[in-house]
Amino acid sequence: MSSQVILGLAVLFGSLFIYMMAFRFPVFFSMILACATWGLVFPGRLPMSVIGSGIISGINSTTFVAICFYFFLGELLNSTELGDRLIAFLKSLVGHIPGSLSHINILASMIFAGVSGSSTADTASIGSMMIPMMKKEGYSAGYSAAVTEVSSIIGPIIPPSNGFIMCAMVLGVSVRKLFLGGIVPGILLGVFQLVISFILAKKRHFPCSEWGGWKNVWRQFKYGFGAVLLPALTIFFLLAGIGTVVEIGAVSCLIAIILLIAYGNFSFRKVLGCLARAAATGGRILAIICTSGIFTWIIASMGVTNVISAWASANIGSPFLLVCICMIIFFILGMLLETVVQHMVIMPMMATALISANVDLVWFSVLASLVINIGLNTPPVGNLIYASASIAECPASEVIKESLPYLAVMILLCILMLFCPGIVTWLPNLVG
């Protein structure tokens, strides 16, 4: 790699980190300023026309509309009685098991993953319901926050997943195949976390409620039928290939509104509030995706992807070793960068090398998404740590300490997926 390319990357990413870490600017604004800084250091190499075309190319896909739909769907579930009905059903089912609220937190994340597709949305929604409930029942604030933030990682793995939509765009992979590839790892991630939750519950003598009998389970199931049905329908549509991810997202939102009407809980004020919050969250993500177009153009103009591909071909003989190196990079950067930046900026830099090495891109994308999201649970950035600590009103250090056993099993799952690609590829290959 030439000194000019190294200097260019140092200016681009160095200024990005400075704007993000030192000045605490929003990510999309930091990316714009980093591009401007690069243009000033290398005058004449960033045409004005690229700014407009880069923004358009960054978001020039209707598939990104699905991100907004799934955020809206998550808001509808969280901001109405549907979320409460889901928690009531899960409590009737496992409430008699020691540490039941910890298990319910994880199970709710697994089900909520079928509608939100975002770990941040999962932390905010499930956390606002479960953390106060757990603290009231005697769980420590740190543990309540830790369970919430680690279980929210399930959200970007079980479909629908915003991260998978971005992977599909930058790597040219079928979104449906990525969604199918995330189902088995997502379920395994939930099961692994439930095992840790059960072990800690036994060890720490966490509380439980009395068993209400199967009649109570059936009653709560009927009461929360819509909350259970909605994620199930979303995943069924994906498995059956009924419509595109955008169409499925739109239909799922419509079903959620119909359920609100059926439960007598519909109001235009609530729905408009959900729409506004989903637009704000989705807009923040889409703004980053827009600016990533300029970022990607600068990286391409320096020939970085070709340089990386040539270096990988000459020095890394094994595709498996190449994937391992990529995962290490994602894990380290996960401690510093937001997931959207990694998906839209870092991943395209690796694309040419991965394709040249004949790496299975479905396997790579699902594995990379899990590793990237683990970064949300690690300092210094650790967005989920601080979000859950804020809800629980406890120090972030306490959340980090309590989350270590769960982080261990997430890393174990990454290793299993690395050595057993079939965990990811079996279902996409089966369904076709």
Residue 180 included in any domain: yes
Instruction: Give domain status of residue 179, yes or no.
Output: yes
Structural tokens at position 370: 């899990």
Asked if 170 and 34 sit in the same domain, the reply is no
pLDDT band at 115 (very low <50, low <70, confident <90, very high): low
**What pLDDT does residue 423 have?**
97
181 near 362, Cβ under 8 Å?
A: yes
Residue type, 418: L
Both 353 and 220 in one domain: the answer is yes
SS3 letters for 62-98? HHHHHHHHHHHHHHHHHCCHHHHHHHHHHHHHHCCCC
Angstrom CA distances, 323 to 161, 195, 350, 367, stand at 21, 29, 10, 9
Does residue 89 carry a pLDDT above 70? yes
56 within domain boundaries: no
Answer whether residue 58 shows pLDDT above 90: no
**Which pair of tokens denotes residue 11?**
């200016």
Whether residues 215 and 269 share a domain: the answer is yes
Distance of alpha carbon 186 from alpha carbon 194, whole angstroms: 12
Residues 100 and 25 reside in one and the same domain? no
Tokens standing for residue 246: 């955008």
Enter the tokens of residue 157. Answer: 């793995």
Q: What is the pLDDT of residue 37?
A: 95
Residue 346's contacts (CB-CB under 8 Å, 6 or more residues apart) are 329, 330, 333, 337
Domain assignment of residue 147, yes or no: yes
End-to-end CA distance of the chain: 40
When pLDDT is averaged across residues 297-324 and rounded to a whole number, the result is 88
What pLDDT shows up at residue 110? Answer: 85
pLDDT winner (highest mean) among 92-96, 104-108, 416-420: 416-420
Percent of the chain with pLDDT over 70: 96
pLDDT in tens, 281-296: 888 888 888 888 888 8
Claim to verify: residue 398 and residue 257 sit in the same structural domain? yes
pTM of the model: 0.88
241-269 b/e (C-beta count within 10 Å ≥ 16 → b): eeeebbebbbbbbebbbebbeebeeeeee
Whether residue 18 is predicted with pLDDT greater than 80 in this model: the reply is yes
- Total domain count, the chain: 2
Judge if 77 and 156 occupy the same domain: yes
What are the Cα distances from residue 269, in Å, to 80, 82, 259? 11, 16, 16
Tell me: the pLDDT tens digits for 339-381? Answer: 888 998 899 999 999 999 999 999 999 999 999 988 877 877 6
209-260 per-position pLDDT tens digit: 888 888 888 998 888 787 778 878 887 887 777 888 888 888 888 988 888 8
- In the chain, the percentage of residues whose pLDDT exceeds 90 is 37
Measured from the Cβ of residue 84, the count of other Cβ atoms closer than 10 Å reads 15
Residues 373 and 310 in one domain: yes
For residues 287 and 364, membership in a common domain is answered with yes
- Cβ atoms of 145 and 394 within 8 Å: the answer is yes
* Within-domain flag for 236: yes
In this structure, is residue 330 part of a structural domain? yes
Alpha-carbon span 363 to 423, nearest angstrom: 9
Do 233 and 113 have their domain in common?
yes
Q: Is 50 a domain residue?
A: no
Split at pLDDT 50, 70, 90, the class of 117 is: low
- The pLDDT score that the predictor gives to residue 140 is 94
Tokens read off for 269: 């004020």
Q: 90 and 213 in one domain?
A: yes
**pLDDT score at 368:** 96
Structure-model confidence comparison of residues 240 and 97, the more confident one: 97
Q: How far apart are CA 427 and CA 421, in angstroms?
A: 11
| Same domain, residue pair 328 and 411 | yes
Interatomic CA distance for residues 201 and 409, integer angstroms: 16
1/106 same-domain check: no
Structure tokens, 25: 């600017």
pLDDT in tens, 148-161: 999 988 888 988 78
Domain holding 22, by residue range, is 1-41
**pLDDT at position 209:** 82
- Position 40 scores a pLDDT of 93
Residue 49 lies in a domain: no
| Whether residue 380 has a cis bond before it, omega within 30° of 0 | yes
